[in-house]
Each structure stands twice: as C-alpha cells, then as structure tokens.
Structure 1
Amino acid sequence: MKNARKEIQRARMWRYFLDAATEVIEEEGLEQVTIRKIAKRAGYTSSTAYNYFKDLSHLKFFAAMRFTTDYISELPLYLKKGTNTIDSWLYSWECFCKHSFNRPEIYAIIFMDDLGGSVDELLEDYYEIYQEDLIGLPEEIKPIVLELNFSKRSMLYLQKAVDEGFILQKDVDLLADMTLMLWKGMMNTVLNQRRNYTQEQAASQTISYVYEMVRRVVVPDKQNEINYVPN
C-alpha cells in the first residue's frame, strides 16, 4: 500500500512538472526551459524538481515526449497504407519525417541528444506515467514505439521484409543504419540552418533518399512489388 501511494504521488508530481514544461515550450520555446522556471510555474522549488528528474536534459526529454502523441497516433494509419512490409516501412518514414521536421528541436532531443544515461530506462519511466499514450495502438506497433534506438526500431520491422523475400538478412543492419544516418544528416542541416529548406522540403527530400536506399537493397525480383512513390 505504501509503495502504491508513493507511485501515485510520483505520477502526480511528474504531471505537474511536465505540464509546466510543456507550457513553457509552447509559449517560449524549448531553449527557454530551465529547472527553476519549470518548478516555479508548477508551484514548487527547484530542489523538489530534482527529486523527480535527474537533470535538465531528462526533464527536456520527458517534456519533448509530450509533443510526439500526434506522430504516435498517426503511425498506425500510415502503416496500413502499405500492401507489404517495405511499403509500410516507407510510409512509416513518411509519417516520421512529417512530424520530426515539423518540430525538429523536439525530435532532436529524443533521438539525437546525449541524455547521459539509458534511454530505454527513460522511456520506460515515461510510459509508466503516460500509459494512456499507448492505448489503442496495435500490439505489433507497440514494440516499435517503445524502442527509441531508431536503427534498432527499423531492424525490428524490417525483419518481416526478410521473411517476405524483399531483402536479404545481411542488408537489414545496413538499411536500418544508413536510413537513420540520412535522417540525422538532414536534421543537422535543418537545425544548423545550413540550407534554406522548408519543413515540407526537408521531409520530402529525406524520404526520397530513404526510398532510393531501399531500392538499392531490395532483391531484383521484388522491385516491381514496391508500390510506394515519394511525393
């Protein structure tokens, strides 16, 4: 009973602080998030905030996750568009690019920044508090959503493409790693304003690169079964 009360209290405090962090991000931007500012808005001291979050990077990570609910809710719809695993995987990339380049600073924190610890543990902590974010997700999609290592996430999904004969086992790691590097390269380009891409251009260019990479590894006899066409 005592542990149950403690967990309820922890969940309640998390929501106070993350609601405050979300408000600051929406009003002032991610770069304005500080422990002191979030604690004050939540009605507590900074020392209280540190009782629940190891450091600012962790608080930013958890707050950033609150902005991924649209992506998570749309992902199953995109996956359903595909008639085979490769098509579905390309549609999932389309969904991810659409949302990640719409909020690049959010997705960079989640998938690129050094968080100084186990990302798996952070994600587990997050979904313990926000279990409702997973409600309604098909069971086969939950392992993808719950895996923050994007390369590993792709490997999990692409394994089915091996079973369907679209790609060889030896190319799974290559395809997963190379497509992740393509996205990270474009994300760095956008964040550092190296090119004048709009959000739509960055997303479209990235998915085109991913598509070309896929075409290079799909076995010749299966090429004509890929129905996905980049916009």
Structure 2
Amino acid sequence: MWKYFVEATAQIIREEGIENVTIRKIADIAGYNSATIYNYFSEISHLVFFASLKFMKQYTEEVAQVYKRNDLAPMEKYLRAWELFCQHSFQNPSVFHAVFIADLGSHPEDLLKHYYSVYPSEIIGIPEEIKPVILEHNISKRGRVILEFLVKEGLMKEENVDAINELTIMIWQGMFTTFLNNRSTYDPEEATRKIMLYIREIMRNANHFSFADEPQSADLSS
C-alpha cells in the first residue's frame, strides 16, 4: 500500500511536475480515497520526498561508479562527486530541493532509512565507503564524510574540514537558490562549470587556509 502511493506520486512528478502533486491526484491514481493516504503518511511533503528519491537513482549510481574507479586519485573522486551533484541538481532542481532542502516537518534521516528499507535494491552495488553519504540527508554531513577520505590520505588538514565543507556548500546553495527561483540566466551546464571553478580553486588551496578564529560550524541541512 505504501508503495502504491509513492509510485502514484512519482507518476505525477514525472508527468506534471512536483508543483502539481495533490493528495486527491495521488489517491485517484493509486485507487484509494484521500483519507487512506494519511494512514501511511503524516503529510504530503513526505510523499513528495519519497517519490523524489526515485529520481535520484541515476545520480547515486554515477557517484558509485566514480568511487569504484581505481584510476582516479581521491581528490579527483571528490571533485567528480561534486560535479555530478551539481549537474543533476541543476538538471532536476525541484527534485533536489524536495530531497535536500524542503521542510519535511520530521526527521529526514529516518525517512531516508525507511525508503531504502523498502527499496533496498537501489543501493545494491554502492561501495561501502560511500554508503554513509548516500544514506545521509544532511548536506553538511554528506560533504564531511567525503572530505574525511582526503584527510586520511593526507591531502587535507583535519582542522580545515568543517570550513572547507561550509564554503563549498554555500557556493552550491547560492547558485542553486537563484537557479531554482529563476533569478539566473545560467543553464545547468554553465551553473555547474561556475561552481566547479570555485570548488577546484578552494581545494587547490585547501591546506593554505587558516581558520583559527572560525566560529562554530553551522548546520546547512536546510
């Protein structure tokens, strides 16, 4: 029953867009009345969140392929992962907003775990080292997990991780917000290129920054 409603929501997103998702439409497609939906979902944002995750599969698989490659250095894997995140987020901004930014009124990490418990096949083949990234809703925590790989390789100072993480996320969030709100003239390719230009420069100089007087790290999950 839970799957029926998620699949119905995904169909609406695919055919009409997230902005046109309604409880009545979901119920009609699933073949149940609207009241039944609330026996399984406390609010419509959860349905949109679960359905949007189904559109994240290609992104997840592409990131997994990057981390399976033995011919890429750790830093290049990090940069490639960021590039994929940018490409997919600008190609499908409403989905990425629903998954990473929208207010869910609940604990997103619990929703995410529940989704993959229902659709375990979607994380088959994901390298163990990046499963904590895929199973993490909080953007800050996702970024930190990947940066820790670079610390272990001696490519970044541990004391710089939080600041570098915040810098890169803020760059993406700034561009993504203007893009989502149609305040930018960039197309997805140009937006990605701009962000990666800045992120590559940050990573090139990562160990030369001094954040001794840095304030306590903020949570950038919303």
TM-score (norm 1): 0.85
1:66 counterpart SS class: helix
The residue number in structure 1 matching 2:61 is 73
The residue number in structure 1 matching 2:81 is 92
Deviation at 1:219, TM superposition (A): 5.2
- Residue 2 of structure 2 is aligned to residue 17 of structure 1: no
Equivalent-residue separation in structure 2 for 1:182 and 1:36 (angstroms): 38
- Residue 173 of structure 2 is aligned to residue 184 of structure 1: yes
Which of 152, 160, 171 is the matching residue for 1:163?
152
Deviation at 1:153, TM superposition (A): 1.1
Deviation at 1:154, TM superposition (A): 1.4
- Residue 143 of structure 2 is aligned to residue 154 of structure 1: yes
Deviation at 1:132, TM superposition (A): 0.7
Deviation at 1:218, TM superposition (A): 3.4
CA contact (8 A) 1:120 1:147 kept: yes
Matches within 5 A, 1:38-49: 38-49=26-37
CA contact (8 A) 1:75 1:92 kept: yes
2:49 counterpart SS class: helix
Deviation at 1:84, TM superposition (A): 2.7
- Residue 24 of structure 2 is aligned to residue 51 of structure 1: no
Equivalent-residue separation in structure 2 for 1:53 and 1:206 (angstroms): 36
1:215 counterpart letter in structure 2: R
Q: Pick closer, same or farther for the CA change 1:154–1:81 going to 2, 3 Å.
A: farther
The residue number in structure 2 matching 1:223 is none
Equivalent-residue separation in structure 2 for 1:142 and 1:104 (angstroms): 23
The residue number in structure 1 matching 2:96 is 107
Deviation at 1:109, TM superposition (A): 1.1
1:48 counterpart letter in structure 2: T
Equivalent-residue separation in structure 1 for 2:64 and 2:12 (angstroms): 30
1:85 counterpart letter in structure 2: P
CA contact (8 A) 1:94 1:203 kept: yes
Which of 172, 176, 197 is the matching residue for 2:161?
172
1:185 counterpart letter in structure 2: G
Matches within 5 A, 1:126-145: 126-145=115-134
Query: For 1:99-147, what per-residue CA distance to the aligned partner results, in whole angstroms no more than 9, with x for missing partners?
Result: 1111001001111111111111110111111111011111112111001
Deviation at 1:82, TM superposition (A): 6.3
Equivalent-residue separation in structure 2 for 1:141 and 1:35 (angstroms): 35
The residue number in structure 1 matching 2:15 is 27
Gap runs ≥5 in structure 1: 1-12, 221-231
The residue number in structure 1 matching 2:214 is none
2:84 counterpart letter in structure 1: C
Instruction: Count residues with an aligned counterpart.
Output: 208
Equivalent-residue separation in structure 1 for 2:147 and 2:140 (angstroms): 10
User: Over aligned residues, Cα RMSD in angstroms?
Assistant: 1.5
Query: For 1:132-185, what per-residue CA distance to the aligned partner results, in whole angstroms no more than 9, with x for missing partners?
Result: 101111111211100111111111121121122211111101111111111111
Deviation at 1:216, TM superposition (A): 2.5
Q: Which moved more, 1:72-81 or 1:173-182?
A: 72-81
Which of 183, 188, 192 is the matching residue for 1:194?
183
Gap runs ≥5 in structure 2: 210-222
